[in-house]
Amino acid sequence: MTSIALAEWLQLWLDTDSDQPAYHQLYLLFRKAILTGKLPPDSRLPASRLLAKDLGIARNTIIQVYEQLALEGYVHATTGKGTFVADVSQDSIEDGPAGETAASPNVAPYPSLSQRGVRLVHRLGFSNRQQGAFMSGVPDISEFPFKTWQRIQNKRWRNQPEDLLGYAPAGGYEPLRHAISAYVNSARSVNSSARQVIITTGIHQGVDVITRLLTEPGDLVWIEEPSYWGLRNLLLSSGLRVKGIAVDAEGLNPDPQQMKHPPKLIVITPSHQYPLGMVMSLSRRRMLLEYAHQHGCWIVEDDYDSEFRFGSRPLQSLQGLDEWGRVLYAGSFSKMMYPGLRTGYLVVPVPLADHFANAVAELYREGRLMTQANLAEFLAEGYLSSHVRRVRNLYASRRQCLIHAIQRRYGNSLEIIGDDAGLHLVLGLPDGVDDMAIAHMALQRGIIVRPLSDYYLDGRQAKKGLLLGFGCVSEEQINAAFPTLGEVIDAALAKIS
Amino acid sequence: MTSIALAEWLQLWLDTDSDQPAYHQLYLLFRKAILTGKLPPDSRLPASRLLAKDLGIARNTIIQVYEQLALEGYVHATTGKGTFVADVSQDSIEDGPAGETAASPNVAPYPSLSQRGVRLVHRLGFSNRQQGAFMSGVPDISEFPFKTWQRIQNKRWRNQPEDLLGYAPAGGYEPLRHAISAYVNSARSVNSSARQVIITTGIHQGVDVITRLLTEPGDLVWIEEPSYWGLRNLLLSSGLRVKGIAVDAEGLNPDPQQMKHPPKLIVITPSHQYPLGMVMSLSRRRMLLEYAHQHGCWIVEDDYDSEFRFGSRPLQSLQGLDEWGRVLYAGSFSKMMYPGLRTGYLVVPVPLADHFANAVAELYREGRLMTQANLAEFLAEGYLSSHVRRVRNLYASRRQCLIHAIQRRYGNSLEIIGDDAGLHLVLGLPDGVDDMAIAHMALQRGIIVRPLSDYYLDGRQAKKGLLLGFGCVSEEQINAAFPTLGEVIDAALAKIS
């Protein structure tokens, strides 16, 4: 290996962002090069001055590394000639160096993500920030009844509950399945028995097991346009053909041409369209159920925040209307409790129940029965209902506060999209506005907003707007932050006028 | 809808295993049939006697349901003529009944799992039982230092740690990534910085994100033959072409014909082949690394129980020998702590590190930072190391105890496969023996063993044997259970002699 090739190899592997000092990394890299024959016996190490320059690090570091290697017998220095690799083949490793392997011109390029991998990492939706105005999709965690939860938790740990520390049985912790069945039957008019309830880590895992049991790679899936980026990316990454279907005031609205090609899956948010907030009409629900029944489609009903309706009673679930077992109902405790809990559920038709229970156990090897047991008690004792009742009022006030802040500045000139529900609203913007640029500018001033464009599979179809979360934002924060956001919006509006 | 069609529909949906009484289920089903037009106004309900016979339930239950429906106005009874559906279209629902939709002969068959779904549910490996002789793959949970763990946990909960209850940042909880990097570098000679460590829920999730970032559906994957059923089924369910490659005394041993078709992924257990227990030789390791480098394959190193070597020091990891960044190293705390914890990690090459961190956050929307923070402290404070040291001795004794029990009965006539490590050994059986039948018979006598055949992708290649776990089985249990198992084995041996 020439000095140049060695320097390139070291550059590839030296991680200057690492918490490991460069000295230690270099030492390990040289040792590896020597032990594996990349640097064969008697080859000469590059001059410390040149290598320091190539790697952009202090020459002293290189000298220290060479000295350490000499001390341990990996190299020997000959005054006036340089530093040479020792023959370590007999001492250190069984088989001796494998010889030079680096220079082959036929080697595959590196790194090489798959096509679906590239698509995924180039269109990420998640954010590491989760606090502050106007973060959407996150509840106010500070309102969570910590003490109650801790008391429930401690009671179980004190009993050294070995049976709750193993892998989960098929379907999850039985008492939690019962508690969830009772909850969704009463709160959401779902028609379920405990056997139909499958505990998951959330909607992502729920959709994943659905695709694995009910679709093949390459199958067609309908999602709403716009919709939640997380599920869109999961479905794309699963090798499915994902088609965005427009929504109107009544919800998902496939055109006749689209209906000629029935999909295998239809993923929808009928109670509260995400992110626009409309409720799917009864006639549209019936049409979809009938269509799914006729064509053997499966409908995934993501009932992601139906607990937070402020004005009206929640509508009953689509699942409760389904007479042919085409609906898979998905819920989660992320927004009612706290996101990090990672506990959700599927309610699946009776004939599929055992298959789903078994598949989750097999595919994900789940555990966390302790959390499931604590949650079962939290539900059964009514703590969840009373917590939800309390924060529902809080969120309703914050929504009003945000609407007032918007109207104080804009009157009715910008549309407020979304019904009286949920943890966010959408502030509509005129067509020519670059909502992504606004989000970017706002972030530089410490304000988080999501551009509505991000929620479209096909950016050319995108309506412009901003998702403004109010669930985790106090009224003080709302009133303090909105004027700043308004300045950013006004600057963008000025550009197109 | 005729009475016969109605009875069939009710049979399809009536779940007699349910915790919901048949009365309540039937009531809901009738109401749904009426509200959705399946039973149109003025149609006659079947005679209670006939329906009771068709459904196999008490006639009285049917009568009660009819009475409840009459009370609520859904039906009306006419003496001597029967019970008829009322016209509820205007009162109860917006759009009126959609009319008869059930009888179409063009409806897709139900239920219909996908091909990969059928394959999955017909070849499940997991078991709901996890206690007792000779359960394999499970540590002794009763030895876990509950009090220490609870103390660490409580300290955090008392501080109402809102920042630990949200979604996880890319890659996971930073201090845990540092702690794991330090741990694997020192204990397993892995070459990593914290940035390369990606927190997962375990090996299943690790392999899933690898397939999504580095493969396309239809790509070829090599697994060991035999190997862990869970990953095999996950890979098959991901739409990959999975090829079993024979192992010999030196580990994975692809033949020249197989090597002509380089796979995209190679999933191996070089430190302790699962389930046979051999260690991959250094020359085989070098050959595989070189092959992967030349052909752009990725190697998944599943280092699933390297902490439990009883006689010798653990070998260094394959990752530590990898100079070209082709190895993705996967570990888990399931066997060191307890399985239900569901926390593991990947160590990925530097150029892939951020992509993997982002992909996990995007695909699974992880959380559980509280658990990750507790675990980071458990590692950093040395509790994990001292716990592992302690149970290592315990498991070593149990292994000896099991070997003595085997040898007392069989001398050296049955082979004991596996090196001095891990939580199970394999008791070899002669070729003609039906190891699945033995497992089945043993279970009827309360003893859990896994047939070695189950671990083969291609059953025709299968060596016969039994996996006997000793990790969670006390010496008393071993000595009590083995003679019973011996009787079952002897009966099977007698059949082929």
Contact between B242 and B207 under an 8 Å Cβ cutoff? The reply is no
Nearest CA in chain B to A185: B20
Cβ–Cβ pairs < 8 A, chains A and B = 329
Tens digits of residue pLDDT in B156-207: 999 888 899 999 999 999 999 999 999 999 889 999 999 999 999 999 999 9
- Span A238-248, mean pLDDT? 96
Q: Residue B98: what pLDDT?
A: 37
CA proximity to A262, closest of A236, A243, A238: A243
Tens digits of residue pLDDT in B343-385: 999 999 988 999 999 999 999 999 999 999 999 999 999 999 9
CA proximity to B423, closest of B384, B388, B465: B388
Say yes or no for a CB contact (<8 Å) between B18 and A106: no
* CA distance to partner chain B, nearest, from residue A326 (Å): 9
Residue A150 burial (C-beta neighbours within 10 Å; 0-12, 13-18, 19+): middle
Q: Residue B18: what pLDDT?
A: 76
- Span A175-180, mean pLDDT? 97
User: Length of chain A, please?
Assistant: 497
Q: What backbone phi and psi angles, to 5 degrees, belong to A217?
A: -55, 140
Contact between A410 and A466 under an 8 Å Cβ cutoff? The reply is no
Say yes or no for a CB contact (<8 Å) between B342 and A144: no
Candidates A16, A106, A162: best to mutate against B (most CBs of B within 10 A) is A162
Any bridge partners for residue B78, and if so which? Answer: B82
Tens digits of residue pLDDT in A277-333: 999 998 999 999 999 999 999 999 999 888 888 877 667 899 999 988 999 999 999
- Span A4-30, mean pLDDT? 80
- Span A90-117, mean pLDDT? 53
* CB count in 10 Å sphere of residue A281: 17
Most confident of A81-95, A112-126, A196-210: A196-210
Q: Residue B311: what pLDDT?
A: 78
* CA distance to partner chain A, nearest, from residue B417 (Å): 24
Which chain A residues are Cβ-neighbours of B178 within 8 angstroms? Answer: 19
CA angle at A298 for the pair B10 and A362, rounded to the nearest 5°: 95
Q: Is the pLDDT of residue A1 over 70?
A: no
Q: Is the pLDDT of residue A8 over 50?
A: yes
Q: Residue B95: what pLDDT?
A: 34
Contact between A291 and A252 under an 8 Å Cβ cutoff? The reply is no
Say yes or no for a CB contact (<8 Å) between A239 and B216: yes
Quote the mean pLDDT of chain A: 89
Closest in A112, A138, A290 to B166, CB measured: A138
CA proximity to B236, closest of B387, B112, B369, B124: B124
* CA distance to partner chain B, nearest, from residue A428 (Å): 26
Q: Which residues contact A487 (CB under 8 A, 6 or more apart)?
A: none
Q: Which single residue is written with the structure tokens 């694995």?
A: A212
Say yes or no for a CB contact (<8 Å) between A204 and B363: yes
Tens digits of residue pLDDT in A35-46: 777 788 888 899
Contact between A203 and A346 under an 8 Å Cβ cutoff? The reply is no
Candidates B213, B472, B473: best to mutate against A (most CBs of A within 10 A) is B213
Q: Which single residue is written with the structure tokens 């919709």?
A: A227
Say yes or no for a CB contact (<8 Å) between B93 and A286: no
Which chain B residues are Cβ-neighbours of A213 within 8 angstroms? Answer: 113-114, 117, 120-121
Which chain B residues are Cβ-neighbours of A339 within 8 angstroms? Answer: 165-167, 365, 367
Q: Which single residue is written with the structure tokens 């009162």?
A: B91
Candidates B26, B114, B164: best to mutate against A (most CBs of A within 10 A) is B114
Which chain A residues are Cβ-neighbours of B213 within 8 angstroms? Answer: 113-114, 117, 120-121
Which range, of A254-263, B22-31, B235-244, averages the lowest pLDDT? B22-31
Q: Which single residue is written with the structure tokens 């025709």?
A: B460
pLDDT band at B313 (very low <50, low <70, confident <90, very high): low
Which chain B residues are Cβ-neighbours of A219 within 8 angstroms? Answer: 114
DSSP state letters, A192-241: --GGGEEEESSHHHHHHHHHHHH--TT-EEEEEES--HHHHHHHHHTT-E
Tens digits of residue pLDDT in B260-309: 999 999 999 999 999 999 999 989 999 999 999 999 999 999 998 888 88
Nearest CA in chain A to B29: A323
Q: Which residues contact B210 (CB under 8 A, 6 or more apart)?
A: B265, B298, B300, B328, B346
Residue B430 burial (C-beta neighbours within 10 Å; 0-12, 13-18, 19+): middle
SS3 content of chain B, % helix, strand, coil (to 5): 45, 15, 40
pLDDT band at B56 (very low <50, low <70, confident <90, very high): confident
CA proximity to B354, closest of A20, A120, A440: A120
Say yes or no for a CB contact (<8 Å) between A126 and B361: yes
Q: Report the SS3 class of residue B85.
A: strand
Say yes or no for a CB contact (<8 Å) between A154 and B158: no
Which chain B residues are Cβ-neighbours of A352 within 8 angstroms? Answer: 111, 113
DSSP state letters, B274-340: TTT-PPPPHHHHHHHHHHHHHHT-EEEEE-TTTT-BSSSPPPPPSGGG-SSS-EEEEEESTTTS-GG
pLDDT band at A29 (very low <50, low <70, confident <90, very high): confident
CA proximity to B203, closest of B183, B217, B223: B223
Say yes or no for a CB contact (<8 Å) between A120 and B213: yes
Q: Which residues contact B395 (CB under 8 A, 6 or more apart)?
A: B140, B308, B310, B423, B470, B471
Say yes or no for a CB contact (<8 Å) between A32 and B166: no
**Torsion over CA of A208, A209, A215 and A220, rounded to 10 degrees?**
-30
Say yes or no for a CB contact (<8 Å) between A166 and B339: yes
**Which token pair is A340?**
């990090």
Q: Which residues contact B343 (CB under 8 A, 6 or more apart)?
A: B199, B200, B201, B202, B332, B333, B337, B368, B371, B372, B375
Which chain B residues are Cβ-neighbours of A168 within 8 angstroms? Answer: 340
User: Length of chain B, please?
Assistant: 497
Any bridge partners for residue B302, and if so which? Answer: B330
What is the spatial distance between Cα B392 and Cα A90, in angstroms, rounded to a whole number?
33
What is the spatial distance between Cα B137 and Cα B146, in angstroms, rounded to a whole number?
21
Any bridge partners for residue B42, and if so which? Answer: none
Which chain B residues are Cβ-neighbours of A170 within 8 angstroms? Answer: 126, 128
Which chain B residues are Cβ-neighbours of A368 within 8 angstroms? Answer: 340-342
Q: Is the pLDDT of residue A2 over 70?
A: no
Nearest CA in chain A to B352: A111
Report residue A254 CA to chain centroid gap: 27
Closest in B126, B160, B363 to A237, CB measured: B363
* CA distance to partner chain A, nearest, from residue B17 (Å): 8
Q: What backbone phi and psi angles, to 5 degrees, belong to A276?
A: -85, -20
What is the spatial distance between Cα B364 and Cα A206, in angstroms, rounded to a whole number?
10
Say yes or no for a CB contact (<8 Å) between B351 and A160: no
Percentage above 70 pLDDT, chain B: 93
B77 vs B427, more confident:
B427
Which chain B residues are Cβ-neighbours of A169 within 8 angstroms? Answer: 128
**Which token pair is A459?**
């950016």
Say yes or no for a CB contact (<8 Å) between A338 and B165: yes
Tens digits of residue pLDDT in B448-477: 999 999 999 988 889 999 999 999 999 999
Q: Residue B64: what pLDDT?
A: 83
Q: Are strands A424-428 and A450-451 parallel, antiparallel or unpaired?
A: unpaired
Which chain A residues are Cβ-neighbours of B142 within 8 angstroms? Answer: 160, 162
**Which token pair is B331?**
């570990």
Any bridge partners for residue B83, and if so which? Answer: B77
Nearest CA in chain B to A29: B323
Tens digits of residue pLDDT in A62-77: 988 888 787 767 888 8
* CA distance to partner chain B, nearest, from residue A438 (Å): 23
Q: Residue A249: what pLDDT?
A: 93
Say yes or no for a CB contact (<8 Å) between A157 and B153: yes
Q: Residue A363: what pLDDT?
A: 97
Q: Is the pLDDT of residue B108 over 70?
A: no
Cis peptide before A134 (omega within 30 of 0): yes
Which range, of A331-340, B94-103, B202-211, B425-434, averages the lowest pLDDT? B94-103
**Which token pair is B360?**
């996990």
Q: Is the pLDDT of residue A91 over 60?
A: no
Closest in B9, B196, B215 to A114, CB measured: B215
* CA distance to partner chain A, nearest, from residue B409 (Å): 32
Q: Residue A99: what pLDDT?
A: 35
Q: Is the pLDDT of residue A110 over 60?
A: yes
Closest in B120, B195, B212 to A212, CB measured: B120
Quote the mean pLDDT of chain B: 89
Q: Residue A102: what pLDDT?
A: 34
Say yes or no for a CB contact (<8 Å) between B213 and A114: yes
